[in-house]
Chain A
Amino acid sequence: MTRTASFASRFAAPVQATASRGASSGAAAVARPVLDVGASVPPPKGTLAQIAADFMLPQHTSANRLPAPEVVHRAMAHDSAWKHVTGQARYVDDLPEPPGMVHVLVGSSPHAHARLLSVELDAVRAAPGVLCAFSAAEIPGRNDVSPSVGDDPLLAENEVHFLGQPVFAVAAATPAAAADALALAKVRYEPRKAVLSIEEALKQKSYVADPHAMRRGNAKQALDNAPQRLQGNLYIGGQDHFYLEGQVSLAVPGEDGEVTLYCSTQHPSEVQHLVAGVLGVADSAVTVEVRRMGGAFGGKESQASQWAALAALAARLTGRAAKMRLDRDSDMVMTGKRHDFLVRYDVGFDETGRVQGLFVELASRCGFSADLSVPVNDRAMFHVDNAYCLDHIEIVSYRCRTNTVSNTAFRGFGGPQGMMAIERVMDAIAQHLKVDPLTVRKRNFYGRGRTNITPYHMRVTDNVIPQIVRSLLASSNYARRRRAIRNFNRNNQWIHRGIALTPVKFGISFTMPHLNQAGALIHIYTDGSVHLNHGGTEMGQGLFIKVAQVTANALGVSVDQVRPIATNTAKVPNTSATAASSGADLNGMAACIAADTLRKRLERFALEHLDARADQLRFAGGRVRLDARREISFVDLVRGAYQARVPLSATGFYKTPKLHYDRQRSSGRPFYYFAYGAAVSEVALDLLTGECRVLRVDLQHDVGQSLNPAVDLGQIEGGFMQGLGWLTSEELYWNEQGALMTHAPSTYKIPACSDRPEVFQMHFWERGRNSEATIHRSKAVGEPPLMLAISVFSAIVDALSDVGQAGAQPILDAPATPERILMAAEALRSELHAA
């Protein structure tokens, strides 16, 4: 069934589809045209061209409560697209600088671990252009910017815990003056032994939190009884966020201890609370505003607070506006990354590949403090099952404390590492049994009845993996290509190919239930324009346009009439981070509730004052139908309501239902629903150098009923490529002193344009519809597609599996750099020659 058909069947009566955001968004509704750019490249069927074209067709609707197709479920340009391309979109560093503003820089530890004996800043203070310099001693409030347990000092005190840890700060008239002054500080250290690896931390039982276990069934017994058994391990490297805009905050001091911060953060409320703590003022004295971020990916969830607090403190001490911006190298050295993981597994299975018992140990590098490592590692545990039913399983997680920067949230939040573990197990079983890994995967998929219980005892009731996989196998010609690839590898010594299909099942909700709440604030002005505010932040993911679509739909106005306003802690308080893919689910629903409140007030006004008929009252296209013969414009209705003293401002509040989780027993329903997808990737390896190219990717992903197909497709494609980088070229390298040596794009290689697969066919899962009552039955899309790239890693393993003897296990860690691939191939070759 095509996407068009699925939409046609959903609605009944015709409604004219119109371009509603003027020329630029009218253009946006048009497809990315399918261009034939080379004879060998088939046209990209899954592109926006096809999907958006479907949305150009007449759509159908039957009831006022159903979304008007010209507003939601429609491909619309990012709310700032026009500003992006003209350079008018302002980021924090682009804001006009208040007169006298100071620039703040930090001096950092040259040791991975040391006692801090003294910090002497007199010479710094005396340097030209310097307005103030401060260390931990000058902090008026709490010296802490931790999002969790209070172990993240703003500036180091008594001890430094990683190389690059901020020790003191200087505020000067220019960045150059600040940088020159930094060198004048006299800081004395007494170096201590540092823990720099996961292995060393495990040996020393150095943890940021207690080890945690999750159990279902009896893994030990099942392992003992299993006909076949394999053990192995896998190292999975970390990942730098590499948002193009580095961390930045601008603090403007107000009266009576107040401060306003313009900050690039996913979590304005937490920044507000931590800044207030550092300054020793009430939360109400601090306002944080975020218009947009130049990318975040989790890296500006907990990691933005430190720089915001330093700017705020400098503003407090100088009485001037203060800007703290990290340059690329400082950003990479001083801010946390995706956790690297060491995985050990012991799996028992039968001759068909069905897993009978599994024991998995996950050990991660958390860095020097807890930060978000507890929930990150929990989420890794929650995703060790991925799409597979594991009846007898035990997962033990170690949260290792090391003398490296404190690792943090990153798109997927531990989930990708958990999935990598089980996908390695699936590949290992298949190689051992000498069968197609897909056979093993299918053998273990979640099913119905007794085969749908997760290791945390939640029932999987919305599983569509078998259907997605069936569809993807057909569209990708998996079986035929796999046969051709085996044949290719037999006939080619220096280039091998591999192909793999991997599934994704990703749990949607913050696993701490209380975080699943959101607020919105909507004003309607008397000219009919709508001011939209909610707790979610815009980092490029298209949240603002999605929520604007939802709001416009609820009020029956065009999206043009709805203005998304910068996120501001003074408008919607106590918000959760825009994280966990939850932005549109939570804030879309909160905005919808606020807009519904306003519409209902307007409805009541129309019924009471305009004699509207309740059964015919309808809001659409900026018009309000009162009965069979009469309609008025939205603006006129609003003006009338104002005259009648109807309040035109409303808040909306939403909390996700059905969630409960007992962490002690690792049991409950931590997720409202799951997002699903699957990908088939084909790679070619150069067995002389280990270089790898991704030749073709086919994927299908379930976004439910997409709020904005253009935005969702962008998340899928971008997420996949980010996952591809994580697993192939992005390698973090620390030297023996604990210094990060890959701290700029010259040494840290995120995917470039030519790393995009030659053929990349993306499709939404055609029957996608959220079985839970989410906003217009859409599904969260931010994180899940990243994990589709695990198919690339498995394809590399598949290509290597033809190098050695049949059944030989390629030893490949992530990222699969040319070096790792070549060394894995060499190991297999020498085994082969020895045999």
Chain B
Amino acid sequence: MAREMPPEAPFAEAARDSVRFILGGELRVLRDVPPTRTVLEYLRNDERRTGTKEGCAEGDCGACTVVLGTLEGTRVRYRAVNSCIQFLPTLDGQELITVEDLQCPDGRLHPAQQALVDMHGSQCGFCTPGFVMSLFALLHNHPPEALADVPPAASARHGTGTQTRSAASVAQAPSRATIQSALAGNLCRCTGYGPIVDAAQRMYAFGSAIPQGWEQRSANKLRALHQAKAKGALALRCGSQRYFAPVSMDSLARLCAFYPQAHLLSGGTDVGLWVTKQRRRLETLIYTGAVPALQHIREENGVLEIGAAVSYTDALRSLSERYGKDLELLLERLGSVQIRNLGTIGGNIANGSPIGDSPPPLIALGASVVLCRFPEPGTARQGGKRSAASQADAPTLLRREILLENYFLDYGKQDRHPGEFVVAVRLPAPPKDLRFHCYKVAKRWDQDITAVLGAFALILKHGRIVEARVAYGGMAATPKRAHACEAALRERSWNPGTLAEAQQALQNDFQPITDMRASAAYRMRVAQNLLQRCFLETTQTAPRTRIYEELPTP
């Protein structure tokens, strides 16, 4: 039942004190939930669903992968996420699907499961439930067309039949790149991945009946859940810990003003680790993911605005459509599907990591960040004592917009006032003749934290650099513009001499450090070489500079 907020909480609207979600097809209503209890802890300890495993407790290995189902219009959207770093209250209003749920009532395995058995995709089996769930999400997000369905076991038993089915599945199965991207967040130490990739293709041989049945059941359950008043704000309390999930900007602002020490939670792909790795106790969490006003992506007068709670997955298309394949590639290599499904650009910025992958390209593209807070700190407290009805005449929130490059002050320090929160990122209209490139270098191609990231936005006219904005990650305590380098480029002819001077100038911009990801010397050399790659790619036609495009020698 919805009820009024506790008197001290300055909520604009009535809020529930229970988390509601679907598990195993049934409604779960949880009160007195420790806000930082992870979904994985909940599954393994409270539900005794031990199929979901802990491999790393930091969202990097995928053994804990579960799928969340949400209703988007009439369709169900399935997202693979890492249950080890996701806090339980964020399940509110969703369907939680684990490996135990997949088998059909008649005993048949889900295509994702059957294909793994058929292709010998499990050895030790510990990573397998996570792969099953990633494959489940892949299948449901790239559904096979309706075909005459053949029971999986029957189709697999006969050699010739299999050939026919697999031929059909070729047309159905997504590309190898799509499959690899879907599986990049799942580590397997036994198989070498080949049989799992084969299974990802084979599951398309089993037709569409099972996936469609799944989606239908999910949709019905989720509709029922929403009818059961699982919408609206959430306010939980467990011991001294508090969790708020406001649904309006006004409430969010009030809560932030009232609890200036509170931690804002978006995707939780960073905050989750504070709990699982650093064992920090977070007293008050304010979740931004339920505020629709932070979820928008819109373009007005050429300015692209992305709400702070938009996930990478959702932001990817509009950003890559606007700025091209380099940014697309970068965002596709950011974390994994599981991380991108939860992680937000707003969060990546707000936390100010020196090695966050989105700030350098955004800085190079001239992005600004919109911040917001409640006007007078004193009035927030009074606000809480008002009834919900009197909130209609809420004061206008204070907004300011600053250049993203000015937001990062120092390591772990940002230009964010107490009670202030990030609302959106805004990208100006791309200037004519913009050439944009960005490159990430890490030890591993997929799901690795950047050693050096270079982003280059050049306005080139007839071989001259009219304007240059260059930003790097991994080179300083914050994502940072390379002013000396830019000065060496600006209003110069784009030739090897200019390149050499600009490369040299990077030494004035940065004094990188040595750590486990790279040495200072390597970082500097790569920073210079990335500028060289940008030179090659902006001055030559089809230069050969990308190993991921190389094919084996015939």
Contact = CB atoms under 8 A, between A and B. Distances in A.
Interface of A: 19, 23-24, 26-28, 30-38, 40-41, 47-48, 53, 56, 75, 77-78, 80-91, 93-94, 96, 179, 241-245, 292-297, 327-329, 481, 484-485, 488, 492, 494-495, 497, 499, 539-542, 682, 684-686, 688-693, 695-696, 710-711, 713-714, 717-722, 729, 731, 733, 741-742, 744-747, 749-756, 758-760, 817-819, 822-823, 826
The 8 nearest A-B residue pairs measured at CB? A87-B51, A540-B124, A294-B126, A33-B166, A84-B125, A721-B192, A540-B123, A27-B156
A758 B61 contact: no
B420 interface: no
Given A30-B159, A244-B55, A745-B58, A688 B545 contact: yes
Contacts of B526: 688-690, 818, 822
Contacts of B57: 327-328
A96 B49 CA distance: 11
Nearest to B59: A746
Interface stretch (B359-367, B393-401, B528-536): B528-536
A655 B103 CA distance: 44
Interface in B403-445: 439, 441-445
B184 A688 contact: no
A233 to B, nearest CB: 20
Interface of B: 44, 48-58, 60-61, 63, 98-100, 102-103, 109, 112-114, 116-120, 122-129, 132, 152-153, 156-159, 162-163, 165-166, 169-170, 173, 175-176, 179-181, 183-184, 186-198, 201-202, 205, 277, 279, 439, 441-449, 451, 515-519, 521-522, 525-526, 529-530, 532-533, 536, 543-548, 550-554
B60 A746 contact: yes
A692 B176 CA distance: 19
B58 A244 contact: no
B118 A294 contact: no
B61 A749 contact: no
B194 A86 contact: no
A27 B118 contact: yes
B287 to A, nearest CB: 22
B117 A753 contact: no
A87 B123 contact: no
Given A30-B157, A691-B441, A749-B443, A38 B190 contact: no
B277 to A, nearest CB: 7
A759 B552 CA distance: 8
Contacts of A752: 184, 187, 193, 444-447
B58 A328 contact: yes
Contacts of B118: 27-28, 30, 32
A51 B97 CA distance: 36
A499 B547 contact: no
A819 B519 contact: yes
Given A37-B175, A90-B50, A682-B552, A32 B277 contact: no
B120 A695 contact: no
7 contacts: A48-B195, A78-B125, A87-B100, A294-B127, A689-B439, A753-B446, A755-B445
Contacts of B197: 753, 756
Contacts of B279: 179
B195 A91 contact: no
A492 B113 contact: no
Contacts of B52: 87
Contacts of A75: 120
A339 to B, nearest CB: 19
Given A89-B125, A495-B547, A714-B192, 5 more contacts: A28-B120, A30-B157, A31-B162, A80-B125, A693-B547
A35 B198 contact: yes
B137 to A, nearest CB: 15
Contact of B153 (A23, A32, A38, A710): A23
Contacts of B187: 242, 244, 745, 750, 752
Given A87-B100, A689-B441, A695-B550, A77 B175 contact: no
B433 to A, nearest CB: 25
A476 to B, nearest CB: 10
A826 B525 contact: yes
A485 B389 CA distance: 75
A539 B125 CA distance: 9
B126 A91 contact: yes
Contacts of B521: 823
B157 A494 contact: no
Contact of A720 (B192, B516, B547): B192
B51 A30 contact: no
Contacts of A329: 277
Residue with the highest number of chain A CB atoms closer than 10 Å, among B55, B99, B113, B194: B194
Contact of A88 (B51, B54, B120): B51
